[in-house]
Chain A
Amino acid sequence: GQSLEQPSEVTAVEGAIVQINCTYQTSGFYGLSWYQQHDGGAPTFLSYNALDGLEETGRFSSFLSRSDSYGYLLLQELQMKDSASYFCAVNSGNTPLVFGKGTRLSVIA
C-alpha cells in the first residue's frame, strides 16, 4: 500500500517562514508533488521533485530526500493569501498521484 503523512494544521504569522513536512511509504517512487487548494477551489500545482535537493520557485521551495522518504514545502514571506490547504502527492510510476490528507495553513496578522 501507499501512505503519506503530513500535519493536519499549521498556523503562522504574516511575513514569517513556514515548513510543511511530508513523509511517505510507497511501493515505487518517481517523485513528490505539492499542490495548493483554497477553500472551494481546485488544487493547483506548486512543485515537483524527482531528485534529492531543494527546488526554488519564488517564495515557495520544495525539498526531497529519497533515502529518508521525506520532503517538505517551504513558504517564505507569508501572505494572507497563502492561507489554504497544501497537499503532498507521490508519483509512483504508472499509477496516478496518491495524495496526502493535506495541511491546512492559516496565516494570521
Chain B
Amino acid sequence: GAGVSQTPSNKVTEKGKYVELRCDPISGHTALYWYRQSLGQGPEFLIYFQGTGAADDSGLPNDRFFAVRPEGSVSTLKIQRTERGDSAVYLCASSPNPPGLAGGGSYNEQFFGPGTRLTVL
C-alpha cells in the first residue's frame, strides 16, 4: 500500500517568504506527527495531531510555525516570515495508534515520509 507522502520534496525560498509543506499520511492512521531534522541531528518533534486536533504543539519553535489537519487526514505545515535558521528537512510521520499506550513490538511504530528539504536563502 501507499506510504506517507510529502510535497514538495524540495523547497527553496527567500528569507521572509511564506511556505506550506504538505503531508499525506497512510490511510486510516489517526495520529500524525511533524518533525524537523537538521544535518547530523535526530528528528526534532514539532507537533502531533490525533484526528483533526493538535494534541501537542509544544515543539513548535515560535508563532511563525502553524499546522492544520482539517479533515483528519492530510496535514499542512505553514511557516511565515521564513528565516535562514528554518532550513532543514521537515519530516512527517503517521501511526495507527496514538502514542503513550502500552504495547510491544511494532505497536508504537511511526511511519515516516521522505521529507521536504527546505532551504531559506
Tell me how many residue pairs across A and B have CB atoms closer than 8 Å: 80
Bound Cα distance from A49 to B33, whole angstroms: 21
Mark the stretch among A67-75, A76-84, A87-95 that contacts chain B.
Answer: A87-95
Interface string of B82-121 (1 = CB under 8 A from A): 0000000001010000111111111111111111000000
Q: Which 3 interchain pairs have the tightest Cβ spacing?
A: A99-B42, A42-B112, A45-B109
24 A-B pairs with C-beta separation under 8 A: A30-B99, A30-B101, A41-B114, A43-B43, A45-B109, A48-B104, A48-B106, A48-B107, A48-B109, A49-B104, A50-B102, A87-B43, A93-B100, A94-B56, A94-B100, A95-B45, A96-B45, A97-B33, A97-B99, A99-B43, A99-B45, A101-B41, A101-B42, A102-B41
A44 touches B (CB below 8 Å): yes
Bound Cα distance from A99 to B44, whole angstroms: 7
Bound Cα distance from A100 to B43, whole angstroms: 8
Kindly state the interface size class of chain A when it binds its partner.
20 to 34
- When distances are taken between beta carbons in the complex, the residues of chain B under 8 Å from A98 are 45
Kindly state the interface size class of chain B when it binds its partner.
20 to 34
Interfacial residues of chain B within 6-65, with CB under 8 A of chain A in the complex? 33, 35, 40-45, 48, 55-56, 58
Query: Across the two chains, which residue of chain A brings its CB closest to B92?
Result: A42
Known A-B contacts A91-B99, A94-B100; the reply to A43 vs B48 at CB < 8 A is: no
- When distances are taken between beta carbons in the complex, the residues of chain B under 8 Å from A100 are 42
**Chain B positions near chain A (C-beta within 8 angstroms):** 4, 33, 35, 40-45, 48, 55-56, 58, 91, 93, 98-115
Bound Cα distance from A51 to B91, whole angstroms: 28
Known A-B contacts A99-B42, A102-B42; the reply to A45 vs B111 at CB < 8 A is: yes
Bound Cα distance from A37 to B109, whole angstroms: 14
Interface pair A48/B105, CB less than 8 Å apart:
yes
- When distances are taken between beta carbons in the complex, the residues of chain B under 8 Å from A45 are 106, 109-111
Known A-B contacts A96-B45, A96-B56; the reply to A43 vs B112 at CB < 8 A is: yes
Bound Cα distance from A44 to B102, whole angstroms: 20
Known A-B contacts A42-B114, A48-B107, A102-B41; the reply to A95 vs B102 at CB < 8 A is: no
Bound Cα distance from A102 to B35, whole angstroms: 15
